[in-house]
Structure 1
Amino acid sequence: MEKNMAMPPLWPGEAEIGERIERLRANMADARIDAMVLTSRQNFEYYSGFRTLFWTSDTRPLLAIARRDRAGIAIVINSSEERNAQAWPNRHVQPLYYHGYTDVAVSATGAFLSDLPAGAAVGFDYGLDMFGRGSIALIDYLRAAPHNFRLSDQADLIWRQRLIKSRHELDTKREVCRIATESFFAGLADLRIGMNEYEFGQLLKQRMIGLGADSVDWLPVRFDPAGKSYAQPNYDFRLAHGNFIWVDMGARRADQISDLDRVAKVGKATPEQEDLYGFVRSVTLRLAEKIRPGMTGEKVYHLFEELWSERNLSRLTAAGRVGHGSGIALTEPPSLMAGSSEIILEDMVLHLEPKLEMAGGVYQTEEVFRVTTTGPEFLSDIAPERLPIVDL
């Protein structure tokens, strides 16, 4: 713990950033895209490695631009960032400073692209599971004369790269999953009858930060959550004897986020509750063991249905899927659900999260793993074999 508290998180180094940029440019060449404008924080940081606190403000835009005809990547940043850029130089990243606000940033972006032929193809990080940031002013500027650029959504081009994780990403994902699970099980000792969900969530956040998380972006806490929304902010619902405790943990360290949940019960569990917990945990682990590169998201969902049908249970409660990918974002493609034609690839990170609400409880043991040709490489510590009990 002392080591994690003393050492800042490891971000991708210069060599990895250079490799990411070159692969992006190769994919742009295949797709005949002349330039890519990256507007979201996730893509900006993934390809540039440049970090700043100014994402909290919308007045000074940050943009990254890759060109097929030029090595490296340019970052359009405010002149107030000059010392920041000098402190973390990267030979693959060229800072372009602007003096002012949004209108000047838009002009600086256009100036960097101005020597491309009129009508050149310019992609944006908009599309499937990628909303981007941008502005109408930027779009209008690039579409107008004399540029007349042909703009298009290019999320697929970016996902082609981001879905395959590097060793740095896998190691960081493993570390942040450890931080999340250790915090949950240690945090059970903080519980008191009458404590509310908000208070417990704040204590968990403190534990995660103490163990090395940079932030905790997602942390819904539910006491006795059956029938309640899992996405609402933590509030004043108070812990009572017999409650189930469900927490979904999105701790962030460097460029990875955890996203896994764990459950426990206050007081003795019934044999039926113990059995249901064990069944959901077993389905989660057995499904992970069956997943191989080349499967579709729909195939994985059908495998889940086969396992789930061993019991006469209600349908799982989730967003129409039993799992998803993740990385720098809380959830990423693929979606493991009926109708998904997305292909599972080696070195993807997947989350499996079947959830059941029944017999007065909630049962879910989300696990995180790397896809390999021989089976899962778990990045999360496997949930306990038996339902955790809190004696209060």
Structure 2
Amino acid sequence: MDKRSHLQRVEKLQKTLKKEKIDALLVTQPENRRYLSGYTAGDHGIQETSGILLIPSSGKPHLLTDSRFTLQAEEEAQGYQVQNYPKGPIKLLKKLLPSLDVATLGFESNYTLHSTAARLSKMAEKTGITLKPVSEMIERMRIIKSEEELELLRESTRLNEQVFKMVFNSIEPGMSEREVALAIDLTMHELGAEKPSFDTIVAFGTNAAKPHAVPTDKVLETGQLVLIDMGLIYKGYCSDMTRTFIAGKPDSTFKNRVRIVRKAQLAGMKAIRSGASCKDVDQAARQVIKDAGYGKAFQHSLGHGVGIAVHEEPRLSPMSRKKLKTGMVVTVEPGIYLPEWGGIRLENMVIVKKNGYELLNKDTTFLDL
């Protein structure tokens, strides 16, 4: 993604800041930071940042960081004024904000630590600046993907499927969940991914009844159920896919249950179009599983948005009040989870279109039995 795309996003954000009468906004959420600047450095923890964006309502944006990241920031955040804070960001802001005539400073309330907000508040009192908590301002920009972003999501999904095919051919009884997960992660790197978009899930047998199972030393046996949930980051954009299969010949029980989950997935996708309620899409898939007698075994929402973060808005959930719009990207991932048996989840990604959807996943292996 080129420099112009990031600066166009900054300009769009600046229009919103003017409308909201905010003179500048501090951006600390890592995905929002990358979305606006192209700066890829990650945070080692919520208390340790690799940089903060200061976006004034007009003029050049700033990236505030320390000497460890200066060169990377200057290379990646083109169009930004990079400034170091050897004594921490608050002391730099105390000097910088008055020079930019900032009277009202916004901050991301959903991500800012209470301790950081307290320090900002003290600084604001001393400088006469008014603090204004901001929620979802940048996330609302991210929810509709540009054609450039959609192409990156298509490529991320294609690469994810390629990794799955390569690793699947090497899976055999005797391998552990950890070994398969490691093979997936290594193959992602070998094929050019930045990294997994989340911790890869590999679950055998009854472990697959845990929707977010953590790979263990459990060894695969012939005839055992295998659930793999995997995703990668390609040029900043995420993919997310789940496949469930049997190591060997599937029995009638598995075939029956996987067909129910697949039917639910197709029903959910059929309900997707611009203007559709996220709640109704979830219900379309959930009803199929309920009618089959497994309603209580579908324990989570149908899906979530995917973009520069692997979990973002909108949510295909019984509790959602949002409606889908053209250009949104969501997962469709119904499941059945039975502690004494295991679990099945099938997950694809789709782009919301005016009268339907575009399926990003091209490989239907293990979806139709």
Fold match by TM threshold 0.5: yes
* Distance (whole Å) between structure 2 residues aligned to residue 368 and residue 110 of structure 1: 45
1:337 Cα deviation (Å)? 1.5
Equivalence map 1:214-225=2 (5 Å): 214-216=194-196, 217-225=198-206
> What is the 5 A alignment of 1:1-392?
12-52=1-41, 55-56=43-44, 61-68=50-57, 70-88=58-76, 90-91=78-79, 93-98=80-85, 100=86, 103-115=87-99, 120-127=103-110, 131-132=111-112, 135-136=116-117, 138-152=119-133, 154-216=134-196, 217-225=198-206, 228-319=209-300, 321-357=301-337, 360-384=341-365, 386=367
1:194 shift after superposition: 2.2
Q: Which amino acid aligns with 1:94?
A: Q
Q: Which amino acid aligns with 2:41?
A: T
Identify if the C-alpha distance between structure 1 residues 330 and 46 changes in structure 2 by more than 3 Å, giving closer, same or farther. same
C-alpha separation in 1, matches of 2:242 and 2:147: 24
Distance 1:62 1:168 in 2: 25
Structure 1-normalised TM-score? Answer: 0.84
Shift of 1:176: 1.6
Structure 1 window deviating more from structure 2 (40-49 vs 360-369): it is 360-369
Segments of 5+ residues of structure 2 without an aligned counterpart are none
| Separation in 1, partners of 2:228, 2:336 | 14
| Number of residue pairs matched by the alignment | 365
Q: Deviations over 1:307-337 (max 9, x none)?
A: 4444233334343x11111111121112211
Deviation at 1:377, TM superposition (A): 1.1
Q: Using the alignment, how far apart are the partners of 2:48 and 2:178 within structure 1?
A: 32
**Counterparts of 1:264 and 1:33, CA distance in 2:** 53
Q: Write the distance in 1 (CA, Å) between the matches of 2:368 and 2:266.
A: 15
Q: Deviations over 1:336-372 (max 9, x none)?
A: 1123112322101111111013594532211101111
Quote the Cα distance in structure 2 between the aligned partners of 1:83 and 1:267. 52
- The C-alpha deviation readout for 1:147-194, integer Å capped at 9, x for no partner, is 342231x23211210111112221111112222222222212222322
Q: Is the 8 A contact 2:203 2:213 kept in 1?
A: no
**Offset of residue 82 of structure 1:** 3.8
Amino acid at match of 1:18: L
Instruction: State whether residues 170 and 379 of structure 1, in contact with CA within 8 Å, keep that contact through their aligned partners in structure 2.
Output: no
Q: Is the partner of 2:96 in helix, strand or coil?
A: helix
**1:80–1:25 CA distance, 2 compared to 1 (3 A):** same
Secondary structure of the residue aligned to 2:250 is: coil
Closer, same or farther in 2 for the Cα pair 1:177/1:192, shift >3 Å? Answer: same
Question: Structure 2 length as normaliser, TM-score?
Answer: 0.89
Q: Which residue of 2 aligns with 1:7?
A: none
- Contact 1:193/1:241 (<8 A) preserved: yes
Contact 1:247–1:262 (Cα < 8 Å) also in 2: yes
Partners in 1 of 2:32 and 2:309 — Cα distance? 10
Structure 1 residues 179-211: Cα deviation after superposition (integer angstroms, max 9, x where no partner): 222222221222232211111111111111112
SS in 2 for 1:218: coil
**CA contact 2:3–2:78 (8 Å) conserved in 1:** yes
Contact 1:264/1:387, CA 8 A, preserved across alignment: no
Cα contact 1:164–1:346 (8 A) shared by 2: yes
Separation (CA, whole Å) in 1 of partners of 2:362 and 2:204: 23
Letter in 1 for 2:91: S
Give the fraction of aligned pairs with identical amino acids, expressed as a percent.
22
Query: Residues 166 and 367 of structure 1: is their aligned pair in 2 closer, same or farther, counting only changes over 3 Å?
Result: same
